Structures are given as structure tokens and as C-alpha cells.
Structure 1
Amino acid sequence: MNKQNAREYFSKAYRIDHRIRSKFEQLESLNALATRATTTLSAMPRNPNRSTSTMADVIARIIDLQEEINQDIISLVDSKREIMTIIKSIENSEYQTLLEKRYLCFLTWEKIAVDMCYTIHHLYKMHNAALEVCSKILNQDT
């Protein structure tokens, strides 16, 4: 496994986290829709082919989306656990800190640079070296 593959491997947690956030936004939208929905009572006859329970459909969709979010959270926790195992096997504590902040806390390069008191350019060099070490570790595991 090369550095690019190691970077992609570590980035999967970020992608899962992003997907969870997106689903939470969808869930908020559906919940808002469900709370705004009102029933109109009318003596007019209804079309028998038309769905009579749009609220039930919305609630079913909310429940399905909540289950998807729960599954994604389980996947995120598993992914972070795998990543943490690899990061902890690195001997250099600076590399560990850098990779944890980037791939487990999802911090920006700027924030990491401030936290670790390094320039961004130096962080990039450290990051490349850390990924090289991770590539070797991942190659040993396969």
C-alpha cells in the first residue's frame, strides 16, 4: 500500500462522518416537514387512488433515515477504531498527534498548525513522512 492509499484509508472516517452530517440535515428537514403538516377537514369526497396518509409516509421515512444514521455511526466508530490502532502503532508521537488531529478529529491544516506550533509547510512534510510509516504498517498487515 502506498501513501495515497494510506491517505484514502484514513479519509474513509471523514467521508462517513460527512455522510452522517448530511443525513442529520435531511432528518431535520423531514422533522420540520412533519411538524408543519396539518390536516384539512373537508366534506368534499376524496380521490380513492390518492394516498391518504402522507404523514405516515413522512414518519416511515424519518424512521428509515434514523436507522441509516445509526448504521453509519456504527461504521464510523469501527473505522475510527481501525485507524486508531494503526496510528498507535507508530513510534513517533508527533506523527501520532498529527494523524489523530487530521483523520480522527477532522481538523483543518491551519488548526493543526496552530495547535502543534508548526508551519503548514512543515506539517505537510510530517504528514507525508507519517503516511509513509503507515503505508509500511498497512503492508505488514496484508
Structure 2
Amino acid sequence: MKRLEDKKITAKEYLGQVRHMEMQIRDLQDEIKRLKELAVGISALNCDEKVLSSVSQDKMANTVCEIDEKVRELDEKVREFVRIRSKVMETIHMLRNDEYEHILYKRYCLMKKWEEIALEMNISYRHVLRLHGLALVEIEEILKLS
């Protein structure tokens, strides 16, 4: 995926980075949870055995190392997510139109569906999409200037 610093990025790609990063974070959290469950399963096997085998100790050690690696990766992703989300929010707040700002914030920072945004803003679904298109044009201009 293109990064914030890439000058050829579209407004939609730029704003969509928040959602993409959030999905990556959720995936990593799920993976850590799965590995922890696996580690609990391995330790349960160890408790039932009279003699600990080196194979199950190795499995446990490998799983713990993998969990540690994934936790570090998650920490890094979260730091990057905070940086990107802050930058995107800063850009959204540069818009001159409050409706544009609300739509983009709700869609890209709060991950709301178009229908929810329309309902909250008391405007039609089609009008939300039209305003979204106009807001993207303004974001493109802001990105060109920065």
C-alpha cells in the first residue's frame, strides 16, 4: 500500500490508510489470541505428562517466542496507526466545508457506513455520496499543496 509520503496517492487511498491499518491491527490481535490459546493447550499437555519431553518444551518455547514477536509487531503497527490517523484527521480538518469534514471523519476515522452517516446527518444516502465525492476533490487539492 502507498504511504502518506507518496505524492501520487489518491485522496481515497490516503484516507483509506486508516481503515487498512486498523484491519491489520485486528488481524495481528487475532493471531496473538490464537497463539496464546495454542500455548495454553501446549502447557496443559505438559501438566498431564509425568516426564516433560523436550519436544513439547520446544513447542512451548517456540510459541512464546512467536507471541513475543507478534506483540512487538502489534506495538509498531499501533504506533504507525496513531501517526497515520493523526495525519489523516489533520488533513480532514483542513476542509473548508463542515459537512465534508463530518462525512470524511465519520467514514474514514470512525469507519461508519454510508447509511449511518446519512441518518446521523439527517440527509439522504445519495446526498452523502455526492458530498463525499466533492470532499475527495478538496482533499486531492490539499494533498497537492502539501
**CA–CA distance in structure 1, aligned partners of residues 123 and 13 of structure 2:** 24
Stretches of structure 1 lacking an aligned partner (at least 5 in a row): none
Alignment of 1:115 onto 2:120: yes
Stretches of structure 2 lacking an aligned partner (at least 5 in a row): 1-6
Structure possessing the higher relative contact order (Cα contacts under 8 Å, 6 or more residues apart): 1
TM-score by length of 2: 0.86
Deviates more, 1:78-87 or 1:51-60: 51-60
TM-score by length of 1: 0.88
Instruction: Tell me by how many angstroms 1:111 deviates.
Output: 1.2
Counterpart mapping for 1:33-52 below 5 A: 33-37=38-42, 38-39=45-46, 40-42=49-51, 52=57
Instruction: Tell me by how many angstroms 1:134 deviates.
Output: 0.6
Q: CA RMSD in A?
A: 2.0
Amino acid at match of 2:97: N
Instruction: Tell me by how many angstroms 1:36 deviates.
Output: 1.8
- Give identity over the alignment, percent: 25
Runs of 4+ with deviation above 6 angstroms: none
Question: Larger Rg: 1 or 2?
Answer: 1
Number of positions where the alignment pairs a residue of Structure 1 with one of Structure 2: 136
**CA–CA distance in structure 2, aligned partners of residues 72 and 127 of structure 1:** 28
**CA–CA distance in structure 1, aligned partners of residues 25 and 63 of structure 2:** 19
Alignment of 1:61 onto 2:63: no
1:54-101, CA deviations, whole angstroms, 9 ceiling, x for partnerless residues?
101101111110111111111110011111111111111111111100
Alignment of 1:137 onto 2:142: yes
User: What secondary structure does 2:26 align onto?
Assistant: helix
**CA–CA distance in structure 2, aligned partners of residues 35 and 51 of structure 1:** 12
Deviates more, 1:108-117 or 1:17-26: 108-117
